[in-house]
Structure formats: structure tokens, C-alpha cells
Amino acid sequence: MKRSHLATVLAAAMVAATGTAMAEDNSAVYVGKTAPYTDTSTIKPAIVNECDLPAAQIKLLKEQATAAGVNVLEDESAVAANKGRVLQVEIFNALSQGNAFIGHGKQVTLKGKLFENGKEIGNFTAVRGSMGGAFAGYKSSCAVLHRCQTTLAKDILTWLKNPAKDSRIGE
């Protein structure tokens, strides 16, 4: 009798654990494979052709989410179906002035929308700039733009905790 009771308790614990895992999946935020450019005609061709900002933005968002304990999942089918919480991020603008010798002046602007089962529950414009930080003279323009994107990823994760309409995040 004791063994069957133990089996029942273990089965209940497994069901509870599975329920918890499913609840965590329900809190997932789905993103696409990239954060596409809104319009490449307003961005220098060198940035578009050399820096791969669209793929980098999602990669950095997922890395920062993992570090912060936020469940951001890349799932094109969930995004297309607007299933669950879907975050759409676009690169609205990217600026690159200067260089390693005279100093960097870089900026990335993102636009984002958060949907829950197809209904928009928040949106933002996010801006971050950088002059390159320490040892900027040894960094490429793309590396400094990616530095902006890393900080933007952190900004987005903070916003996801309390999303609102027409938010301005970043700088």
C-alpha cells in the first residue's frame, strides 16, 4: 500500500511540474528570426551590407533574455499565427558617423509592438547611441552599432515587464 501511495504522490508531482513548465511556456514571448529594417533607403548601404543588424538584434535580445531569466523564443510560426505573446521588432534607423581614428558616433533606433493573441498590448520606440566606450579606437563601426543593440535588448526586456502603448525607451 505504501508503494502505491508513493507512486501516486510521484505522479502528482510530475503533473504539477509539467503544469509549471506549461505555465512558463505560456509566459514566453515569441520573436521572429530577425528584426528587419523598416526602410533601408534611409540607412547607409555600408551598414545594411556589412553589419547584419537584423539578425544581431534578435540574437542579442535572446542572449540578454537568457541572462535575465526571461523566456524569449524564436518561433516564426507562432509569430505568423500571432499565437500567445508576440514581439515584433524593426530597425527604424541606424546612424554611423566617425570612425576609430576620429571617434565613433553611432545610433540605433528600433520600433516594436507586443501582441497577445493578435491584440496589440504595447508598442515602443527605442533609441541608443554610443561613442564606442573604452578602447573605441580598436572597434569597428559595426561593433559599436552592436554595442547599441545590446543595450537596446536590455531596454526591451525591462519594458516587457510592464509594456505600455506609445512608450519611449532607451535614451
Are 116 and 123 spatial neighbours (Cβ–Cβ below 8 Å)?
Answer: no
Instruction: Check residues 141 and 152 and name the one with the higher pLDDT.
Output: 152
Listed by start position, the domains of the chain span 28-170
Count of beta carbons in the 10 Å neighbourhood of residue 116: 14
3-class secondary structure, 110:
strand
Q: Is the per-residue pLDDT at 15 higher than 50?
A: no
CA 94 from chain centre, in angstroms, equals 17
d(CA 161, CA 157) in angstroms, rounded, equals 7
pTM confidence score? 0.80
Burial of 27 (0-12, 13-18, 19+ CB in 10 A): exposed
Are 122 and 72 spatial neighbours (Cβ–Cβ below 8 Å)?
Answer: no
- Identify the residue whose cell numbers are 561593433: 143
- By percentage, how much of the chain surpasses pLDDT 90? 71
Residues in the chain: 171
Per-residue pLDDT averaged across 88-114, rounded?
89
At the topology level, CATH places domain 28-170 in Double Stranded RNA Binding Domain (3.30.160)
Per-residue pLDDT averaged across 136-151, rounded?
84
- Identify the residue whose cell numbers are 535580445: 61
Q: Is the per-residue pLDDT at 12 higher than 50?
A: no
Mean pLDDT of the chain: 85
